[in-house]
Amino acid sequence: MDFKLTEEQLAVRDAARDFANNVLLPEVTDRDKHARFPTEEVKQLGELGFLGMMVDPKYDGGGMDTVSYVLAMEEISKVDASTAVVMSVCNSLVAWGFERFGSEDQKEKYLKPLAGGKITGAFCLSEPEAGSDATSQTTTAIDMGDHYLLNGTKNWITNGGTAGVYIVMAQTDREKGHRGINALILEPGMEGFIVGEKEDKMGIRGSDTHTLLFNDVKVPKANRIGEEGFGFKFAMQTLGGGRIGIASQALGIASGALELAIKYSKERKTFGKEIYKHQAIAFKLADMATKVEAARVMCLKAATLKDQGKDFELAASMAKLYASTIAQEVTSEAVQIHGGYGYVREYHVERMMRDAKITQIYEGTSEIQKIVISRAILK
């Protein structure tokens, strides 16, 4: 595959890099410390077109390719993974789901403000007992004729307390199994729709993660995405693209930690010379750089396949599995290279190590990716 970047793609990467360094970096440690959502920063991100990058311009999107999205995600994640996950959910899950499967009315009402950066979105699949297993949904949407009556709970929902639109998976006909699931659109303020307390997380502390509760919420039939029973296919196809976003986030965390480790190794001296001149540190940096580059190639391959209209799901799962694994390894080594300074907030790498762990968990755990990959290669 030819990964030579176009001038347009390089411009997107550079714009994301500038935004990350000039807008996100100054307050990133404070946002992490106080678990503060980057409200103003996300607003600016939307105004620059980074929340609807791949959406058709007729719906106020950027009309960009997936490769550009991967490049931008890496740059944002290098500095602030909490903001990056907001960007990932809005682009990969909510906006893509609306554009690919939504009706024209739904696109006009929800996709346009999302792609134009006026609102953010939330993708609601995980449950306390089901995780990301769409076939085990306990949230129900009973068909009442002209509307559904929604009851249940969703947890670990990114943008849960700040989104302007929510896509919720719910079971309508349990006897039909995965063919009885629907994807429904909710708006904040609907009667019976309750946002629970914000989660106090180990990493990505600036992101807005909540449990959502539904108590007899009336959802109009016009708010169903696709035909009756389409919800399972909607979730599976949307999550495939979502894995590219999370792989890119993991890549960004790792590459950001690598850059900081290289910088520190040129500043810190021991035994009369900079520590990068010690073979033990040089070998660590070599291993870290190789892993980051391999993850980058895997992310770009998945993105290129998606842009070419080819089957990208295996490549996306491989990229997500590998990038999230090396993000843990590279950030841990970055802390080790920093020594005691790596263990304090000021030097960023301790936050990156905490942020990296979640990339192995959401959009399907590493174990789920291995199941997807093994099934594909063993067919």
Task: Please give the positions annotated as active site.
Answer: 363
Cα–chain center distance at 153: 21
Orientation angle between helical segments 349-358 and 81-88, nearest 10 degrees? 30
* Cα separation of the two ends of the chain: 24
**Residue ranges with strand state E in 255-331:** 269-270, 273-274
Structure token digits, residue 46 = 């939307």
**CB-CB contact of 248 with 299 (8 Å):** yes
String of DSSP letters for 180-212: GEEEEEE-TT-TTEEEEEEP--SS-TTS-EEEE
**CB-CB contact of 183 with 123 (8 Å):** no
According to DSSP, residue 92 is labeled: I
**C-alpha span between 139 and 123 (Å, rounded):** 14
